[in-house]
A and B are shown apart, each in its own frame.
Chain A
Amino acid sequence: MNSRLRDFRRLGWFTLRRVLALFVTVLIGVYLTILIANMGGKVDELRKIQIRATVSESVRADPAFMEMSSEERNELIQKQVQLRIEQRNLDEPFIWRSFDYLAQAIQLDLGRAEEMHSDTGSRAVYDIIVERLPATLLLFGTANLLVFFVSVYAALYLSRRYGSRLDRAVIGLAPSSAAPAWFYGIFLILLFAFVVPVLPAGGMVDIPPPEDPWLYAWSVLEHLVLPVIAMFLSSIFISIYSWRTFFLIHSSEDYVEMARAKGLPSSLIQSRYILRPTLAPIITNFLLMLIGLWSGAIILEQVFNWPGLGTLLFQAIGYRDTPVIIGGVVIFAYLLAVTVFMLDFLYAILDPRVRIEGGDQ
């Protein structure tokens, strides 16, 4: 009883320390993002200049103001610039705003964007992000899951046929992953959208979008094919190669050799003696891949005109829209922290060798 209580106390203490450490990490990460995204407050100056230039040109181009003298026009420009500066709180010192940003971010109050809108016109950062999430999850989820499972199974298969022609072919093709997915994307578009026009060149759905939901879904699938192939091609061979090497190392462990010597069937060796001990890194890889979906991929989305999160964050950086940038980063940071936290426990469950410090070894 006492031993169980002690275990729980240790577990509680460990959990608290991990949560605190992760929270501080998130705090520092988010505040660094705020400072970097605002160039330590220098962005305020840039935005003020941008506001002044935009207002000056719009007033100058408006026929309604043509009759005004230069002095009157400059006065009008000054008033409008001041309004916009106040609207964006640029009249407050950056350091105070940075703490406001941090406090809101940590509470997951994503707030309102300063320059951007969601596609439907909402100013709420939550709407802006959530609106793009399904498209990102669909594309990157499909491609990454496909790459993950195909590469793990192919790697297992190849690890059993070390040195075969197929094995050598895959190893030979591994450097093809040096080219990013968007690079393959350009060629695929050229081939399958222009030379042999069987698939759409970009976008997420036909133009105009079909009104029937089934046709809509079919159209999305059609549009998904090329970007998924591009992502698949760019990472499948290197992924198989690395997993294959990983499995090969584990295949030569003494306990695996012993199992083989005992004449156990290869499927049993594979599942119990290779996969089971390597489950922790596989799951780590899988979970990190899943949270990696959050960031999307800027250039690939641009090439395929895909309305994903990557493009959104890229636009936010271009607009220097701090709340959107922070929104994207803080959610990623929390997801990462939660994943790391979960992995600590998963390791303990999956691998009997892992124990809380001070516990039974």
Chain B
Amino acid sequence: MRKPIVWVLLGLVVLALLMLLPRPSERSGSAQSAEEVGNIREAIDETGRRGALVDEVVFTQESDVGRIAGLIERGQQQVYAQGITNITAYHRLRDSSKGDYETSYGSNTELSLNPAEFKEGLNPFRNRRIREAMNWLVDRRHVAEEIYGGMAVPRYLPMNTAFPDYARLAETARALELKYGHNPEKARRIITEEMKAMGATRREGQWYHEGEAVTLRILIRTEDARKQVGDYISNIMADLGFTVRRQYRTAQEASRIWIAGDPSAGQWNIYTGSWVSTAINRDVSSNLSFYYTNRGRPDPLWQAYDPAETLDNIARRLERRDYTSMEERRELMAEGMELAMEESYRIWLVDQLSIIPHASNVALAADLAGGIAGSRLWPYTLRYKNRLGGSMTFAAPSMLTEPWNPVAGSNWLFDTMIMRALNDPPLLPDPYTGLYRPQSIEGAEVTVAEDTVTQRTLDWVELEKTDRIEVPAETWIGWNAEKSRFRTVAEAHPEGLTARSRTRIRYEDGYLDGEWHDGTEMSLADLVLPWILNFARANENSPFFDPAHVPRFQVFEQYFKGWRILQRDPLVIEAYSDQVFPDAETIVAQQAMSPLPWHMLALGMMGERAGDLAFSSHKADANRVPWLSLVSGPSLEHLERHLGRARDRGYLPYASVLADMTEGEDPAARRYEAIGEWYRERGHFWVGNGPFYLHSVHPVEKTVVLRRNKDFRDPADKWLDFSEPEIPEVTLDGPMMVTQGQSATFTVKVTFGGDPYPARAISNLEYLLFDTGGELQAQSKAEFVADGRWRIRLDAETVSELGDGANSLEVAVTSSRVALPAFASHAFATVPVGTRLMEVADE
């Protein structure tokens, strides 16, 4: 009898202890984050720290996603570089106090419909209305929440919901999303009508055509959640009366059928497809051409696409940028999206959320589309939240996949991710908007032809338009390999040359006074040699000629119209091109030249010239020599040998031109001495100028160690504010019932981490008003009240136009700080005069 009392007392004591325990801070995440950033900044100011915010990053290979959460919780790894879609791992990280994650939206799932007329049997999807009806048939919310366990958001349109174009078209997108919301009855009605019109009959719940059951072959990918998606779609098609054959296939098995096979052979009707973007794409206007016209790809399936003429024209105009203003582009996009939904060669289902796991005390900037592997800012932002310095372990599913060299080396995702930390480009893309920001340039002036639609968003770039852009005669437009000198525009185009854009880039003061990791001083030759090599590799008379480089070079040459150095200190260059982009910032990024240490390149060039090594895989295979790796393998002994020779000869490639561009006295001797010392200490030849240097490479152990470059040019807090995406959090409040003849006011609150979202960062805040029938009745901008607060007033006339019934008010918020738009909705009823309102009744 005593025992229960003891247990009760014990329980009370435990409860009391729990109550006495200190409670977690009730401050908002944003406030905490601001305080942490403030502390870090203070520490940086005190120490004058430069380069990275951590001292060491160790990369290792881990292919078992199931272990990641455990390893992070145990403190053995801090970051996993790949986005994962494993629901169990997601739940574990979500519920863990030691684990956290970033989110990226780069992949999606869709249903590719085969629109071809089959040689035998009926293909329902050759009927445009049936394809369109599929949009009403599928329940995207079910797919996102049940099949993907919340790790996806519904998607309706041929553009990623996290990309800037979606934000630009937020209102149109919202309207189309409401129009094509889940409505199985409507879908069933249309499909029935159209099937009958195509001569099919329905007996005992099954569709028949010319006496044969109408069979749908559904090609289901098996590697991921698309298997469940395929089963889901198979079930609903079977419910509609189709005979369904499920064909479960892996990527390779399926590609033989859906990409390479003849679509009219009738081997498949529906394929569970998926597309991936590794970085934010700021211009998806060519998506219509790619996904809905036969110009998309030369493969047989695309050749079966025969869209309505209007859609085809719009797609072509968008692809060619045949519009005169951003507004016209927006209108074309809006109309194109609407027509694409009617054509529906694809039924877009969800944008998949990938989570990038990391320890809860770690912060870094992950790209909204490409995650960490796609982020250029990760080396500049990676830190422990509560302290400066320290070592961190990154795991990736693969690394050191192919040989590393900066000319034509490995471009595998995780190799590139590591290399990004070793070099410091002049511009860096914002991981949340995709807009380029200056890293080592002061500013830029972009001049484009009058008929070009280009806009400027950030104030570091100036944009102007002009009727005609003449390329000056002394501008370098090529490389004369025979005479080893530049070709000027005057030589190549004596009749004169014009371009569509001119970009003048002003690098930071003392840019060329910076140092490479091996301690050598940078010079203009580091900028010019990679450019010459680009031409040499496409010249058949050059020892560096590489046939694999030619197609890419031809494209470059088609648009490149020359460049020249206007000033050496501070460095100012001017580039001419026929290539223009909708964003002036992107034009600058494409024209800005990135330096590479000429002595490092020279060793590779000597190896290739001697026939020992080759920069590219293609040339290496053709000559049966090792593919040049600066970090490991059989290349190293060749490079070491060539280093000795280069040192003895004082080798400077293209000395006739570059001698004038190198630094100080006897630069070759100093550079080769430095890189020789570097190799002796670290066992590799990779020299960069990034916030980290390559400390050691352990290929068999699959480990790479980076350490902080203490002599980096910038203070460590330069990119500190970019540690997390400021995605607006939107709430919309207002009356539940509105009487006819009266006005109504709704309040929109826009916050981030509980704090008001600054008004200057809000690009647009529009509302859409839908009536009972789902028709758009009004669309306008909300009224600014204060930071974080906006107001929507519906006057009595607008309310009366809604009629009686349930209505929906939708708000779309776009921010200049993040590409991802935010939405909120509020349902309210309009009632006749005299109706007793709910609020009144409550009183």
- What are the interface flags for B285-296 relative to A under an 8 Å C-beta threshold, 1 for contact and 0 otherwise? 010011001011
| Contact A112:B259 (CB < 8 A) given known A60-B290, A74-B298, A307-B700 | no
- B703 to A119, Cβ gap below 8 A? no
- Per the 8 Å Cβ criterion, residues 611-634 of B in contact with A are 617-618, 620-622, 624, 626-627, 629, 631-634
B702 within 8 A of A: yes
The complex places the Cα of A201 from the Cα of B60 at a distance, in Å, of 13
Q: Within the assembled complex, what's the spacing in Å between the Cα atoms of A118 and B629?
A: 12
B450 within 8 A of A: no
Residue of B nearest to A67 (CB): B579
Flag A297-322 by CB within 8 Å of B: 1 or 0 each: 00000110101000000000000000
Residues of B within 8 A of A193 (CB): 74
Interface residue? A213 (CB, 8 A): no
- B181-201: which residues lie under 8 A (CB-CB) from chain A? none
Question: Smallest CB–CB gap between A87 and chain B, Å?
Answer: 5
Determine the chain B residues whose CB is within 8 A of the CB of A197 once the complex forms.
Answer: 74
- Note all chain A residues with C-beta closer than 8 A to B580: 67
Q: A45 to B627, alpha carbons, bound, how many Å?
A: 26
Which among A75-83, A171-179, A260-268, A270-278 touches the partner chain? A75-83
Task: State A209–B64 Cα separation when bound (angstroms).
Answer: 20
Residue-by-residue, is A100-130 near B (CB-CB < 8 Å gives 1, otherwise 0)?
0000000000001000011111111001000
Among B238-246, B397-405, B715-723, B724-732, the stretch in contact with A: B397-405
For the A-B complex, the count of residue pairs with Cβ-Cβ distances under 8 Å equals 160
Contact check, B255 vs A53: say whether CB atoms are below 8 A apart: yes
Instruction: Give CA–CA (A53, B259) in the complex, Å.
Output: 9
Docked Cα-Cα span, A45 to B259, in Å, equals 12
With A123-B627, A208-B705 as contacts: A117 and B67 at CB distance below 8 Å? no
Q: Is A135 an interface residue (CB 8 A)?
A: yes
Asked if B626 contacts A201 (CB within 8 A), the reply is no
Interface residues of B in 269-306 (CB under 8 A from A): 277-279, 283, 286, 289-290, 293, 295-299
Tell me if B531 counts as interface (CB < 8 A to partner A): no
Contact of B61 among A49, A65, A83, A305 (CB under 8 A): A305
Q: In the complex, are the beta carbons of B702 and A201 less than 8 A apart?
A: no
User: Which residues of B have CB within 8 Å of A50?
Assistant: 252, 255
A45 pairs with B67, CB closer than 8 A: no
Determine whether the beta carbon of B618 is less than 8 Å from that of A117.
Answer: no
The answer to whether the Cβ of A344 comes within 8 Å of any Cβ in the partner chain is: no
A69 to B401, CA, bound (A): 33
In the assembled complex, B460 has its CB within 8 A of some CB on chain A = no
CA of A94 to CA of B555 in the docked complex: distance in angstroms?
33
Contact present for A61 and B278 (CB under 8 Å): yes
B633 contacts A118, C-beta separation under 8 Å: yes
Known: A87-B618, A121-B635. A203 touches B590 (CB 8 A): no
Verify if A158 is at the interface (C-beta below 8 Å from B): no
Contact residues of A between 184 and 212, Cβ < 8 Å to B: 189, 193-194, 197, 201-205, 207-209
- Most chain B C-beta atoms within 10 Å of own C-beta, residue among A46, A56, A67, A83: A67
A123 lies within 8 A of B626 (CB): yes
B76: CB under 8 A from chain A? yes
Contacts of A78 in B (CB 8 A): 298
Interface residue range, chain A: 35 or more
Selected from A45, A71, A72, A120, the residue in CB contact (under 8 A) with B629 is A120
Bound-state CA distance A239–B728 (Å) is 64
- B66-83 vs A, CB cutoff 8 Å, 1 = contact: the mask equals 010011001010000000
| Complex partner residue of B403 from A53, A87, A117, CB under 8 angstroms | A117
CB of A5 within 8 A of chain B? no
Which residues of the partner chain B approach A132 to less than 8 Å between Cβ atoms?
700
Report the minimal beta-carbon distance from A9 to chain B, rounded to whole angstroms: 46
User: Which residues of B (733-775) have their CB < 8 Å from a CB of A?
Assistant: none
- Please name all residues of chain B whose beta carbon is closer than 8 Å to the beta carbon of A60 when the two chains form the complex: 290
Q: A65-B555, A83-B618, A194-B70 are in contact. Are A121 and B259 (CB under 8 A)?
A: no
CB of B586 within 8 A of CB of A63, answer: yes
Identify which of A49, A119, A203 contacts B259 (C-beta below 8 A): A49
Q: Are B60 and A131 in contact (CB under 8 A)?
A: no
B701 near A307: Cβ-Cβ < 8 Å? yes
Q: Which of A83, A123, A204 contacts B548 (CB 8 A)?
A: A83
Closest to B73 in A: A194
With an 8 A cutoff between CB atoms, is A1 at the interface? no
One of A87, A119, A205, A209 near B617 (C-beta < 8 A): A87
Q: Which of A206-251 contact B (CB under 8 A)?
A: 207-209
Chain A residues, CB < 8 A from B703 = 207-209
How far is it, in angstroms, between the C-alpha of A69 and the C-alpha of B629 when the chains are bound? Answer: 35
> How many Å from the CB of B498 to the closest CB on chain A?
16
Task: Verify if A52 is at the interface (C-beta below 8 Å from B).
Answer: yes
Query: A121 is contacted by which of B296, B299, B586, B633 (Cβ under 8 Å)?
Result: B633
A349 in the interface (beta carbon within 8 A): no
Is A83 a contact of B629 with CB atoms below 8 Å? no
Which residues of chain B from 296 to 320 have any CB-CB distance to chain A below 8 Å in the complex? 296-299, 319-320
Question: A207 and B393 in contact (CB under 8 A), knowing A119-B400, A305-B62?
Answer: yes
CB of B699 closer than 8 Å to a CB of A = yes
CB distance from A198 to the nearest CB of B (A): 12
- B581 contacts A70, C-beta separation under 8 Å: no
**Is B48 among interface residues, defined by CB-CB distance under 8 A?**
no
- Chain A residue with Cβ nearest B586: A63
Is residue B256 contacting chain A, with contact meaning CB distance below 8 A? yes
Whether B626 contacts A122 by the Cβ 8 Å rule is yes
A123 B621 Cβ-Cβ under 8 A: yes
CB-CB under 8 A from A305, the residues of chain B are 61-64
Do B555 and A64 have beta carbons less than 8 Å apart?
Answer: yes
Q: Can you identify 9 A-B contacts, CB atoms within 8 angstroms?
A: A50-B252, A53-B259, A70-B293, A77-B298, A135-B700, A201-B70, A207-B58, A207-B701, A209-B698
Q: Which 9 pairs of residues, A with B, have the shortest CB-CB distance?
A: A70-B295, A120-B633, A121-B403, A121-B633, A121-B629, A119-B699, A120-B632, A79-B551, A120-B699
Given pairs A118-B633, A202-B64, 14 additional interface contacts (CB within 8 A): A46-B255, A52-B299, A68-B555, A69-B295, A74-B298, A83-B618, A87-B548, A120-B633, A121-B404, A121-B627, A121-B699, A193-B74, A209-B701, A305-B61
